[in-house]
Structure 1
Amino acid sequence: MERKWWHDKVAYQIYPKSFLDTNGDGIGDLRGIISKLDYLKSLGIDIIWLSPIYKSPFVDQGYDISDYYAIAEEFGTMEEFDELLAEAKKRDMHIIMDLVINHCSDKHEWFQKALKDPDGEYADYFYFRKGKNGNPPSNYRSYFGGSCWEKVPGTDKYYLHMFAKEQPDLNWENEKLRQKLYEMINWWLDKGLSGFRIDAIINIKKNLDFPDFEPDAEDGLAACYKMVESAEGVGELLEELKNNTFKKYDAFTVGEVFNMKPEELPEFIGENGHFSTIFDFCAQCLSDGEHGWYDAPEIDFDTWRKAILGSQLETEKYGFKANIIENHDEPRGASRFLPKHAQNPAGIKMLGTVSVLLRGIPFIYQGQEIGMQNAKWNSIDEYDDISTKDQYKAALAAGLSKEQALAACGRMSRDNARTPMQWSDEANAGFTTAKPWLKVNENYKAINVAAQEKDPSSVLNYYRRLVALRKSDEYKELFTYGRCVPAYEDTDGIMAYYREDENKRVLVVANFGSKEAQIRLDGSVKKVLLSNTNDAEKSTVSVGASELKLESCEVLVVLVK
C-alpha cells in the first residue's frame, strides 16, 4: 500500500452551531473553534472536520447551501475562516470541510434562475420533469418524508429533491454544472483546505428513466434510494470529480456512502479509489427500522460485534475505512451501543477503546471524548431537526401514541448529537451566555470538560491516553498498518481483536457483559499498555500471565508474547 499523509491521523468532527458561542447569539461560531484548537491538540487531534458553515437558510442545518463561496454570517466571516486555517496550520493540524454537492438550497442563484426560466439553461442544472397524468413523474419518497417531486410554479413540471423540498438535486449529467462545482472545490483547496467530508455522494447518479417502484408504505410511495440503487455508472462521475479536484492537491477525502454495491468497495477506497476513505456505518445500520425510527430494533451485542469485525476483515483487503461511534446524524453512541449496565464512565471508555484502536482512521465526534449522552426530550417542540419531526409524524400515522412516538425520537433523533457542547457546569454548560439555539442536555453539571480536566481518571483524560497510545512512536506503525484479527468471537459478552504485524501483537479485549469474565490467552502478557480501570503501570495483570480476569465494563490493551 502506498503510504499517505492521512493514514496515521486521528480526526475530530465539529458541529459548529453547537461547539462554542463567543458573541452571545446562542449559536456556535468560528471564533469559538479557534479558541479551542489547543484543547483539540491536547486530545491528539490531527484533522478537524467542520459540518457546513456556508451561507444557508438552515432548513437542514446548513446542508442546504445558498452560496458555496460564502461563510454564513451566523458563524463569522471569511477572514475568521482564514485565521482558523492559519492557526490550525501553526499547530500542525488540518481542516476539512463538508462538501454538499448532491443538492443545493432553493435560494441558490442557480435555482432562482431556473425558476424564472423553467425551459432555460439553469433549469438543466436540476431535474425538471413533466408530471404523469396530473401526478408527479414517479412515486419516490424523500429521505425527509413526502414526495421527492415538487411542482415548479406556473408550469406542468416538477423538480426532484431527495431531501427537503428546499434542497433541489443538482443534475450531474450537465457538464457545465460539473465544471462549476470543480472550480468551487479547487477554490477552497487553493485556500489551504486539506480536504473534504463528502455528503450523500452516491445520490449524484440517478436512473434518468425515474421508474416507479412497488410502494413500501401506506402513503403509496417507495423509498428514493431504490432509484439510486437502480442507477449505473456513479464510479465514472466520482473518478472525474477526483481527477479534476482532490487528486491535484493530495487532498484527504472521506465519503458518506450508503447504498454502495458491496463489490464496489475496492473502487471506492482501493489504491486508486474514488476517496481516501469512507465512513464505516455497519454498526449504525443495525438500528435501521423497516419503516422508520418507531420500529428500529435495539442493538444486539452479538450482531454488533459480528458487524464490526466482519467489516474490518473485508476492508483490510483494499484500504481503510473511517471508524465512528457517532456523528451529527446519529444519536449518542454511549446511549446506543452500550447495554444499560455499561452506560457509565467505564463502559464509555471501553467503547472508545474498541473503536479508536481498530484498523482505519478514527473519527471522534464533539463531546464523545467526555461521554456525552442522549438528552431527555419532553415534547416534539423541543426538537429542531426536520428529520425528527418527519419521523414523529410517521410514528403517529403508524398508530403509535404521542408518548411512544416521542420515545422513538428520543432514542434515535440526531438532535441528541446536536445539543450544545458541555464545557463547564456554568449556565448553558458554558456554551453560550444567551439562550442556546437547541436545549442543553440537563446532565451537563455532571458531564463537562472543566470537571473532567481536573480528574485524572475521567473519560476525557482516558481518551487522551488512548489517542496517545495509538499515535505513540512505539505503536503507531502497528495501529496504523497492522492486521486486525478477531478473537474470542464465541465468548459471550467479549469484544476482542488482535492488532498484529511482523514485530508485535497487541490484544484489545473488552467485557461488555454484566459479570466478571475469564480469558485464557494464546500466549502470555508481555506488557499492559492501557486499562480503563487502573493506570497501566498499576495494573493488577502480571507480566507472564496466561489468563486475564475482566470485570464488567473493563477493557485491557495488552502486548502479548
Structure 2
Amino acid sequence: MKREWWHDKAAYQIYPKSFYDSNGDGIGDIQGIIRKLDYIQDLGIDILWISPMFQSPMVDNGYDISDYYAIDPMFGTMEDMEELIAEAKKRKISILMDLVVNHCSSEHKWFKEAMRDPDGPYGKYFYIVDGKDGEVPCNWRSYFGGSVWEKVPGYDNKFYFHSFAKEQPDLNWENPQVREEIYKMICWWMEKGLGGFRIDAIMNIKKDLTWTDLPADGPDGMADVYKVSQKVDGIGDFLMEMRRRCFDPYDGLAIGEAMFLKEEAVKHFIGENGYFSSIFAFEPCHAYRKGKNYKDYEWPQPFEDWREETAKNQRMLGDAGFEANIIENHDQPRGSSLFIPEEDYGFYSVTALAAIIVCQRGLPFLYQGQEIGMCNRKWKLEEFNDLETLSQYEISIDAGMKPEEALEICSHHSRDNARTPMQWTHGKNAGFSEGTPWMPVNENYTKINVEDEEKEYGSVLNYYKRLIRFRKSEEYKEILTYGSYDPIYEDADHIFAYERKLGEKKLALICNFSGQPSRVTLETEYENVVFVNYEQTTMQGRDLLLKPYEVVVLEV
C-alpha cells in the first residue's frame, strides 16, 4: 500500500451548530470552533471534519445548500472560515468540509431558474421528467418518506426528482455542465487551504434514467430509492473524474459516504487507485438495523452481529486501503447508548468501546462529545428537530404503535441524540452558550462535561487522550497503522478480540464487552501488558481473568 499523509492520524467530526457558541445566539459558530482548537489539538486530533456551514435555509440542518461559495451567516463569515483554516494549520490540523453535491437546496439560484423555465438550460441541471397522465413517473420512495417526485409549480405533468426532502432537488450528474460547476467549486475551496472533503450521499448520483417502477416494499406501493443505486452502473466514471480533477492535484483527503459495498467493489472505491481516499466503516456500527424503519431496529446493538460485521469488513478490505472507523456521527444515536446497555454505562464500558475502535486497522474517527462519553437524552415529541425522526414517528404510529411506544423508539434512534449541544462545563447550558441553545442540552451535563473530566485523571476524556497517544506513539504507531487485523476468540461469549501483526511484531486486544466477569485462556505467550482500562490485570496460569468491560492490550 502506498503510504499517505493521513494514514497515521486521528480524526474528529464537528457538528458546528452544536459545538460552541461564541456570540450568545444559541447556535454554534466558526469563532466557537476557533476558540476550541487548542482543546482539539490537546486531544490528539490531526483531521477535523466540519458538517455543512454553507449558506442554507436549513430544511435539513445544512445539507440543503443554497450557495456553495458562501458561509451561512448563522455560522459567521468567509473571513471567519479563512481564519479557521489558518489557525488549524498552525496546530497541524487539516480541515475537511462537507461536500453535498448529490443535491442542492430548492433556494439555489440554479433551481430557481429551472423552475422558472424547466425546458431551459438550468432545467437540465436537475431531473425534470414528464409524469404519467399527471401521476408521478415511477414509484420510488425518498429517504425521508413519500415520493421522490414533486410537481414543478405551474405544470400539471412535469415533476422534479429529490432523493431526500422536496427542498433538496437532486443535481443531474449526467450533465457535463453540472459536473464542471461542481469541480470548479471543489477546487476553489481546495485553493483556500482545505485538507479535503467528506462527501455526502454520493452513492445516489447515478440514476436509472428509464424511471422504471420497482417492486413495492411497503403498504404505500413504493420502493426505497436506495435500491436504485444498487442496480445501475457507471457511477465510477463520475467519481474517478472528480478525484482526478479535484483531489489528486492537491493531495487532498476525500472520504466518501459509501455504504454496503460488495467485496469485489471495494478496491475500486478506496486506496491508491480508488475513487476516494477512504470510506466510512458503516456496516459494523449499523448492525442493529434489521429493517428500514426504527420499529425494525434492535436495541442495543447486538454484540455478535457487531463483532462479526467488524471482522467481515476488515477481511473484505484486505490491503486495498483504510476505512474511517466510527461508532457514531451526526446521523446516528450516541455510540455509548447504542453499544452499551443503559444499566452498564460507565467509565469501563465507555473506555472499552473506545479501545476497540481506536486500535482497529483504519483511521479512527471520533464525533464531538464521544471523547467525554456523551449519550442519548430523553425526548418529548415536540423537541425533535430532525425530519427523519418525525417521519419515523408517523411510520410507527401508522404501524399500530401507541404514542408512548413510538416516542421511546424514536428517542433511542433519533439523529437528534448526536446533535444536542456539546457539554463543556457543569454550568449554565453546559457551557455551550450564554443564550438559549437551539436544541435542548442533555440533562446529564452536570456529570458529563469537559471541564470536570479534564481535572480527573481517571476520566473518559483523559483515557481517550492516552489512547490516541498510544496509537500514535513511536513504539506502536507502525503496527497500529499498517499491521494486519486478525480476529481471535470469535466464538467466546461477549469477547471482542483481535491481533494486529506487522513483521515480527504482534499486539492483541482482548475485551470482555459485558457486565459480567469472564475468563479467556490465552493461546499465545505474551510478554507485556501495554494498555488497559483497569489499574490491575489478573492472570491465573494461562487464563486472563477479565472484569466487566475490561480491555487489555498485550504484546508478544
Aligned residue in 1 for 2:555: 559
For 2:91 and 2:77, the matched residues in 1 are separated by 22
Aligned-partner SS, 2:353: helix
Aligned residue in 2 for 1:151: 151
Aligned-partner SS, 2:485: strand
Residues 259/513 of structure 1: CA separation in 2 closer, same or farther (3 Å cut):
closer
Normalised by the size of structure 1, how large is the TM-score? 0.97
Cα deviation for residue 515 of structure 1 reads 2.1
Aligned residue in 2 for 1:73: 73
For 2:181 and 2:261, the matched residues in 1 are separated by 26
Cα deviation for residue 228 of structure 1 reads 1.9
Letter in 2 for 1:483: S
Aligned residue in 1 for 2:24: 24
Aligned positions of 1:81-92 closer than 5 A = 81-92=81-92
Q: 1:329 pairs with 310, 327, 331, which one? A: 331
Aligned residue in 2 for 1:354: 356
Residues 291/93 of structure 1: CA separation in 2 closer, same or farther (3 Å cut):
closer
Aligned residue in 1 for 2:392: 391
Aligned residue in 1 for 2:275: 274
CA contact (8 A) 2:21 2:433 kept: yes
- 276-285 or 334-343, which deviates more: 334-343
Aligned-partner SS, 2:58: coil
For 1:249 and 1:162, the matched residues in 2 are separated by 31
- 299-308 or 169-178, which deviates more: 299-308
Residues 342/309 of structure 1: CA separation in 2 closer, same or farther (3 Å cut):
farther
Aligned-partner SS, 2:287: helix
CA contact (8 A) 1:106 1:166 kept: yes
For 1:117 and 1:493, the matched residues in 2 are separated by 60
CA contact (8 A) 1:161 1:169 kept: yes
CA contact (8 A) 2:13 2:50 kept: yes
For 1:27 and 1:173, the matched residues in 2 are separated by 37
Cα deviation for residue 234 of structure 1 reads 0.5
Q: Deviations over 1:478-529 (max 9, x none)?
A: 0000011111111111000011111311111110123222222233332222
CA contact (8 A) 1:24 1:434 kept: yes
For 1:396 and 1:22, the matched residues in 2 are separated by 40
CA contact (8 A) 2:288 2:302 kept: no
Aligned residue in 1 for 2:507: 506
CA contact (8 A) 1:525 1:545 kept: no
Count, aligned residues = 554
Aligned residue in 2 for 1:61: 61
1:166 equivalenced with 2:162 (yes/no): no
Any unmatched runs of 5+ in structure 2? none
For 2:387 and 2:291, the matched residues in 1 are separated by 20
For 2:545 and 2:381, the matched residues in 1 are separated by 45
CA contact (8 A) 2:538 2:546 kept: no
Cα deviation for residue 303 of structure 1 reads 1.3
Cα deviation for residue 540 of structure 1 reads 4.1
Aligned residue in 1 for 2:15: 15
1:376 equivalenced with 2:395 (yes/no): no
Letter in 2 for 1:146: G
CA contact (8 A) 2:199 2:256 kept: yes
Letter in 1 for 2:312: G
Aligned residue in 2 for 1:453: 454
CA contact (8 A) 1:20 1:29 kept: yes
CA contact (8 A) 2:278 2:322 kept: yes
Aligned-partner SS, 1:57: coil
Q: Deviations over 1:216-243 (max 9, x none)?
A: 1111111011222221110111011111
Cα deviation for residue 183 of structure 1 reads 0.2
Cα deviation for residue 549 of structure 1 reads 1.3
CA contact (8 A) 1:528 1:541 kept: no
For 1:203 and 1:180, the matched residues in 2 are separated by 18
Q: In angstroms, what is the RMSD of aligned CA positions?
A: 1.3
For 2:189 and 2:334, the matched residues in 1 are separated by 31
For 1:500 and 1:284, the matched residues in 2 are separated by 24
Letter in 1 for 2:428: A
Q: Deviations over 1:368-415 (max 9, x none)?
A: 0000000101x2110111111111111111111110110110010000
CA contact (8 A) 2:259 2:283 kept: no
Letter in 2 for 1:104: C
Letter in 1 for 2:434: T
Letter in 1 for 2:390: K
Aligned residue in 2 for 1:320: 322
For 2:185 and 2:374, the matched residues in 1 are separated by 36
The sequence identity of aligned pairs, in percent, is 52
Cα deviation for residue 296 of structure 1 reads 1.1
Aligned-partner SS, 2:527: strand
Residues 545/254 of structure 1: CA separation in 2 closer, same or farther (3 Å cut):
farther
Residues 336/57 of structure 1: CA separation in 2 closer, same or farther (3 Å cut):
same
For 2:209 and 2:53, the matched residues in 1 are separated by 32
Normalised by the size of structure 2, how large is the TM-score? 0.98
Letter in 2 for 1:550: L
Cα deviation for residue 291 of structure 1 reads 4.1
Letter in 1 for 2:173: W
Aligned-partner SS, 2:396: helix
Letter in 2 for 1:85: I
Residues 404/540 of structure 1: CA separation in 2 closer, same or farther (3 Å cut):
closer
CA contact (8 A) 2:285 2:326 kept: no
Cα deviation for residue 259 of structure 1 reads 4.8
For 2:26 and 2:326, the matched residues in 1 are separated by 28
For 2:9 and 2:209, the matched residues in 1 are separated by 40
For 1:98 and 1:287, the matched residues in 2 are separated by 26
CA contact (8 A) 2:330 2:418 kept: yes
Aligned residue in 2 for 1:137: 137
Aligned-partner SS, 2:267: helix
Aligned-partner SS, 1:153: coil
Runs of 4+ in 1 over 4 A off after TM superposition: none
Aligned residue in 1 for 2:284: 283
CA contact (8 A) 1:48 1:93 kept: yes
Aligned residue in 1 for 2:190: 189
Aligned residue in 1 for 2:205: 204
Cα deviation for residue 289 of structure 1 reads 4.2
For 1:291 and 1:175, the matched residues in 2 are separated by 34
Aligned-partner SS, 2:286: helix
